[in-house]
């Protein structure tokens, strides 16, 4: 009787264990299915992104180009007005003012895009932003100071686009004065020997 009861208990425990394992398998299968579906969606989204990204980049670049060109169009208009005025020789001052206006407008438009001019004249020479094309010695100015600027340098958002080409003041190095030779003092014994030698020469001459 006891044997039957123990077998029945063992059977019940085994059935419960099998049922629990089946539930775990079903839960894992469901989780696997959900993860696989998420992976498929992510893969599809990534594939779509790869298709969209080049077009978005191209559209962004085209938009920025269009914006820059639009900002420079007034400068072209000012150039056209200046060239039209140049046909009249009496309007030379007007041409100069027109060209200056165009330059200022273009510079302002480029500054709005992050462009800035590099300071040069009167500044200490800096090889990271300046390019020395000539050296000159000006005694009235400090050494290693930028005297003139051949070509303006520019930065774009803090990065060097083009260094400034400059003339740098380079004073000659003065040689250090040589120390004056010091007279060697004679020892008392040397002076006495020298006097005795003079006396002997005098006696020899008298003889």
- DSSP class per residue in 79-143: HHHHHHHHTSGGGHHHHHHHHHHHHHHHHHHHHTTTEEEPP-TTSBP-TTTEEEEEEE--TTS-T
Q: Per-residue pLDDT for 207 more than 60?
A: no
Q: Per-residue pLDDT for 1 more than 70?
A: no
For residue 202, give both structure tokens. Answer: 């005098």
Q: Is 55 helix (H, G, I), strand (E, B) or coil?
A: helix
Q: Is 172 helix (H, G, I), strand (E, B) or coil?
A: coil
Instruction: Please state the rounded mean pLDDT for residues 94-100.
Output: 75
Rounded-to-integer distance, Cα 193 and Cα 30, Å: 122
Task: Looking at mean pLDDT, say which of 13-22, 26-35, 46-55, 127-136 comes out highest.
Answer: 127-136
> What is the residue extent of each domain of the chain?
1-113, 117-173
SS3 percent helix, strand, coil of the chain, rounded to 5, is 60, 15, 25
Q: Per-residue pLDDT for 23 more than 90?
A: no
Q: Per-residue pLDDT for 168 more than 90?
A: yes
149 within 8 A of 164, measured Cβ to Cβ:
yes
Rounded-to-integer distance, Cα 27 and Cα 97, Å: 82
pLDDT of residue 146: 94
Query: Which pTM does this prediction carry?
Result: 0.49
Q: How many CA atoms lie within 13 A of 126 on its CB side?
A: 13
pLDDT of residue 5: 58
Rounded-to-integer distance, Cα 117 and Cα 154, Å: 5
Q: Which residues pair with 145 in a beta bridge?
A: 124
List the single range of 32-46, 91-105, 158-172 with lowest mean pLDDT: 91-105
Give the pLDDT band of residue 100 (cuts 50, 70, 90).
confident
CATH of domain 117-173: 2.30.22.10
């Amino acid at each position: 009787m006891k044997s039957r009861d123990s077998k029945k208990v063992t059977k019940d425990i085994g059935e419960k264990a099998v049922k629990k394992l089946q539930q775990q398998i079903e839960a894992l299968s469901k989780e696997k299915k959900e993860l696989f579906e998420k992976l498929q969606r992510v893969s599809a989204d990534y594939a779509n992104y790869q298709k969209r990204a080049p077009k978005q980049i191209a559209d962004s670049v085209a938009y920025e180009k269009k914006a820059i060109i639009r900002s420079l169009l007034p400068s072209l208009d000012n150039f056209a007005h200046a060239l039209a005025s140049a046909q009249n020789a009496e309007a030379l001052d007007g041409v100069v003012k027109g060209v200056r206006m165009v330059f200022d407008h273009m510079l302002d438009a480029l500054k709005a895009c992050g462009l800035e001019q590099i300071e040069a004249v009167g500044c200490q020479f800096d090889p990271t932003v300046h390019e020395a094309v000539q050296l000159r010695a000006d005694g009235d100015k400090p050494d290693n100071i930028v005297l003139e600027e051949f070509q303006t340098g520019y930065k774009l958002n803090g990065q060097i686009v083009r260094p400034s080409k400059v003339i740098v003041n380079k004073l000659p190095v003065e040689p250090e004065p040589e120390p004056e030779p010091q007279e060697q003092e004679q020892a008392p014994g040397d002076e006495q020997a020298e006097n005795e030698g003079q006396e002997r020469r005098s006696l020899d001459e008298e003889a």
